[in-house]
Structure 1
Amino acid sequence: MSDRSIAGDAVAANAVPTRGARKPFGTEDWWAVGIGLLAIVVAYGLFASGSSIKWLAVAPAKWASIGQLAGDLGKHAGGFVALFIAFAAVFSIAIAALGLPVGQFLAGFLVVFIVSTLVFAAGAWAQASAYNLEPPLIALALGLIVSNLFTLPAWLAPALRVEFYIKVGIVLLGATLPLTLIVWAGPVAIGQATIVSLVTFFVIYGVARAFDIDKRFAAVLGVGGAVCGVSAAIAIAGAVRARREQASVAITLVVVWAIVMVFALPAVSRALGLPTGVAGAWIGTSEFADAAGIAAAQAYGDFARHAPGVVAGAPDASLQAFVLMKVVGRDIWIGIWAFVLAIVATTRWERDSADGADGVQAKPSAREIWTRFPKFVIGFVIASAIVTWIASHYTLADYRSVVTPAFVAPIVALRTWAFTFCFLSIGLTTRFATLAGTGAKPLAAFTAGVVVNVVIGYWLSVHLFAPYWSALGQ
């Protein structure tokens, strides 16, 4: 695989089974929903019976010396082995159902799990917060260093399933975000997302067309920047029948800018002293990928947790605002754009030219919205509803003292594991050399959207809707 297309093709390969694979049973989205909800239901079943999954949802404890770290890892070695087996078992069922090679996945996932454990351990260092060494950023940076300095073995690739890991993590994230909060702030998130989605798309599309870039390619670039980068690029490429290499270039640009923003947005937010909820909303408006945005929001929340008084707001508000803005607000636009652009491509672009990918003109229908809709969002809402129902049986004090440590905290740990798998996979599937092959015009068009996205997102989050975002977690 060439350097130019390694990031795009790696992510695209993670989205759908390859040709010649066994016929898939279900979709990746639905399997992610099933795994996430299964974990929540099992966790609640044990909690309701007086037990907990804390013994399984292990993570390295804080340490100040190598000896202390080694002792903790040795003490909980059985828990780490059990956690690997649990993850490997449920993931393998999904991989097999999707028609993908289970053996190759397991071999690579063992490496991903071991490295993720080391990343967790590094993030648990007592001085890590002083250097902003949060697990998500460590995983991403480590993956980038390895993938750009060394050639990864081919057998590792099947386990680097970026989209799958992040979808599972987002469903688990719903268990920490009460439905009442979504109802309260959801309309604001959807309104802000609508503004950003429309403006960013038309800026990128307009600049691309001014550079004489093909309409289909311009549409893929536009939606990739306006909504949810990788998933949107893949969905829109199929809806408008863009060429595979065009989708690959769009994905590459999304990944590159997402990586830039994952470091830049928390740093700028920290310099400006933005409240956690406001910073999370800005990140959710300005990031181009769910995984990278979650890493940025989580890093800012961890900074607030380890440095109380430096920034206002609850530490969890950063991640909550990001999810409301990105997952609840922006991601639902994937289906809308796919539906609208499928109609435009079929009724206008394919009528004016005969350069369709296969010469067949598909008739768009309202079902396109459902086909392209990110199903993991449904799992996220269901998880949120389950936790909201559980919380309704407790007072706030009892919820924090009883439910949170025995039920919610272990789910948070499992969520963090899934996110770490994802961040590491992003780094290991991204090559900086890919940027050189995208071309100056697509890069310029997409970058124009980046600038507009960041500026509008800042104004909406920090000024217009600041009261809503600042109130999260209070």
Structure 2
Amino acid sequence: MIRGFRNEDGAAVLVGLLLSGLGMLSLAGIDPFGWVIAAKTWTDPSLALQPANPKSYAISAPISLGLTFVFLLGLFIAATKWAGESARSFALRFPVVFALTYGAWTLGQWAYLAATPDKLPKGVTWTMGLTGEAGYLLALLLGLLIGNFLPGFTRWLAPASRSELFIKTAVVLYGAVLGVKAATETGRASAILFRGIAAIIEAYLIYWALVYWIARSWFKFSREWAAPLASGISICGVSAAITTGAAIRARPVVPVMVSSLVVVFAVVEMLLLPWMARVMLPDQPMVAAAWMGLAVKTDGAAIASGSITEGFFLADAASKGIHYEADWMKNTTTTVKVFIDVFIGIWALVLAFVWSRFIDRKDDGSGPTKLPWAEMWARFPKFVLGYFLTFGVVLTLGLLLPELRADLNKATGESTDQFRRILFSLTFFSIGLAANFRRLWAEGLGKLALVYVVCLFGFIIWIGLAISWLFFAGMLPPITQPGA
């Protein structure tokens, strides 16, 4: 069984659990990550960077930045080795990826971009009010520029541009965050979990069937193309397309082409849908958050979209004197998306059964082919196991020991928050690098793209919006006191 974890998912689980476990040292009065570099809202560039907790660690910003880089480099070199890939290639390139990403993230904290209207620094008379999420957008744009105009440099950076590893590790960390919030706000958390279960029904029984039917009936794709296309467009992008391709034993080129298409459209969705949510749902933050989890494909893009959307809504609410507690929207998006991911393996087994029993039956009398159990386990998105482990442990502690909830919130939020932010930034940059529009178009993705456009804008985002409204209309994140 352990061999099934010697991959990127298993590496993400191990790194996420290690960081979560170290964060729990806060329960013993130890600040394990106060030395981690943190980018603050700034007007003076010399004050942009400082340790996350300078009271516990009186060190300079350069030392804090260096320690953070070395720590992450060591973690991900070990993760790369665990996954059986070249640690040397990663190590040579990660310093550049980290420098570019953190530079964009820090620039995104510039007060004129990030400050909310109710908290303008001295001397700042206007602001775009994007909060610190502007750093994610700048990291994405920088990745897009490099990926589309510097192909040689992009190829060189590729071994260290591990968007799925970065975001999956962040998701494992988010499990603990949601766990403590579930223990504290059982009403809201229960609704989020219930909505996640509903998302499974929607994605697998409604989306998948419609996309498959349209691909087959309208665009005349073969079953080999239609099934991975339906999974990639309707469920969760790259992971679903690859898993479905393995389940039905499609040629390798099929899920690869679909996955490339998904990456391109994930960028479009990530830029478009948060803005649409801000305009269409100004007073429905939780509806908007759930919508991102259903409409945006790939784990990284969906969770990143939830992060952008939360930044918009927190800033808009703050301008009205309302201060929502952070992370509830991002956690809603993550939970909806993760619940869908959990069932990828199960769905793959269903497709493998259908294909082997009814579609790819042998005609030589030997009967149906065997189900690829080992392949299904290898393809199962095991990072979600880490998510539910951290969620379950923290939720159990919070329910059994209510007096620890404040400390658990510090351990899961303050202690690991900077790592989550850095991992999100690395994800944005890496997604941008992977979206080479000209190359993908030259590979013949025009017809596939048309299917995506028809399905995405024809019904996927609208069904997702309707069901998100059904479950979350009128529900708001907890409100904190100004300055709390």
Farther-moved stretch of structure 1 (23-32 vs 429-438):
23-32
Q: TM-score, normalization: structure 2?
A: 0.83
- Would you say the 8 A contact 1:57–1:410 is kept in 2? no
Q: Distance in 1 between matches of 2:225 and 2:433?
A: 26
CA drift at 1:137: 1.7
Q: Aligned residue for 1:120?
A: 105
The corresponding residue for 1:348 is 358
1:187 Cα deviation (Å)?
A: 2.5
- Answer yes or no: is the 8 Å Cα contact 1:37–1:383 preserved in 2: yes
Distance 1:361 1:136, change over 3 A: farther
1:247 aligns with 2:255: yes
1:296 paired with 2:299, answer: no
Q: Does 1:420 align with 2:425?
A: yes
- Indicate the SS of the match to 2:111: coil
2:451 corresponds to 1:445: yes
Other-structure match for 2:344: 334
Change (3 A) 1:44 1:351: same
Q: Which runs of 5+ in 1 are unaligned?
A: 1-22, 355-359
After superposition, the Cα gap between the structure-2 partners of 1:52 and 1:394, relative to the gap in structure 1 and judged at 3 Å, is farther
- Give identity over the alignment, percent: 28
Distance across 2 between alignment mates of 1:236 and 1:37:
28
Compute the displacement of 1:403 (Å).
Answer: 4.8
Q: Is the 8 A contact 2:177 2:412 kept in 1?
A: no
Question: Structure 1 174/244 Cα, relative in aligned 2: closer, same or farther at 3 Å?
Answer: same
CA 1:441–1:116 in 2, change beyond 3 Å: closer, same or farther?
Answer: closer
Conserved? CA contact 2:164–2:299, under 8 Å: no
Contact 2:34 2:51 in 1 (8 A): no
Offset, 1:405? 4.3
Asked if 2 retains the 8 angstrom alpha-carbon contact of 1:57 and 1:411, the reply is no
Q: Deviations over 1:106-136 (max 9, x none)?
A: 1111111111221221121112134336222
What corresponds to 1:69 in structure 2? 48
| Residue number in structure 2 paired with 1:19 | none
Matched residue SS, 1:447: helix
Matching of residue 80 in structure 1 with residue 90 in structure 2: no
Alignment partner of 1:64: what SS? coil
Cα deviation per residue 1:304-348 (whole Å; 9 max; x = unaligned)?
A: 3333356885442211210121112x1123112211211222223
SS at match of 1:223: helix
Distance 2:158 2:382 in 1: 25
Return the alpha-carbon distance in structure 1 between the equivalents of residues 50 and 370 of structure 2: 63
State the distance in 1 between where 2:152 and 2:176 align. Answer: 35
Unaligned regions of 5+ residues in structure 2, if any?
53-58, 115-126, 480-484
Residue equivalent to 1:103: 88
The two structures have a TM-score, normalised by structure 1, of 0.85
Following superposition, the deviation at residue 27 of structure 1 comes to 2.5
Q: Does 1:54 align with 2:33?
A: yes
1:305 maps to which residue? 314
Which amino acid letter does the alignment assign opposite residue 233 of structure 1? A
Conservation of the 8 A alpha-carbon contact between 1:140 and 1:424: yes
Call closer, same or farther: CA 1:406–1:175 in 2, change over 3 Å: closer
Deviations 1:337-387 (A, max 9, x none): 211211222223323799xxxxx9741167776544321111111112233
Instruction: Please tell me the root mean square deviation across aligned C-alpha atoms, in Å.
Output: 2.8
Q: Which deviates the most, 343-352 or 237-246?
A: 343-352
- Mapping 1:167-186, distance limit 5 Å: 167-178=168-179, 179-180=182-183, 183-186=190-193
State whether structure 2 residue 222 is matched by structure 1 residue 214: yes
Contact between 1:60 and 1:121, CA under 8 Å: does it hold in 2? yes
More displaced 10-residue stretch of structure 1: 88-97 or 221-230: 88-97
SS at match of 1:438: coil
* Deviates most, 363-372 or 222-231: 363-372
Change (3 A) 1:310 1:225: farther
Mapped to 1, the partners of 2:268 and 2:31 lie a distance apart of 39
Check whether the contact 2:284–2:476 (CA below 8 A) recurs between aligned residues: no
Match of 2:328 among 291, 314, 317: 317
What displacement does 1:455 show? 0.7
Aligned residues: 441
CA distance in structure 2 between the aligned counterparts of 1:121 and 1:365, rounded to whole angstroms: 47
Q: Does the C-alpha gap of structure 1 residues 155 and 375 become closer, same or farther in structure 2, counting only changes over 3 Å?
A: same
The residue type paired with residue 320 of structure 1 is N
8 Å CA contact retained: 1:228, 1:288: yes
Structure scoring higher RCO (CA < 8 A, sep ≥ 6) equals: 1
Partner of 1:269: 277
CA distance in 2: counterparts of 1:101 and 1:33, whole angstroms? 19
Displacement of 1:423: 1.5
**Distance (Å, rounded) in 2 between the aligned partners of 1:143 and 1:171:** 24
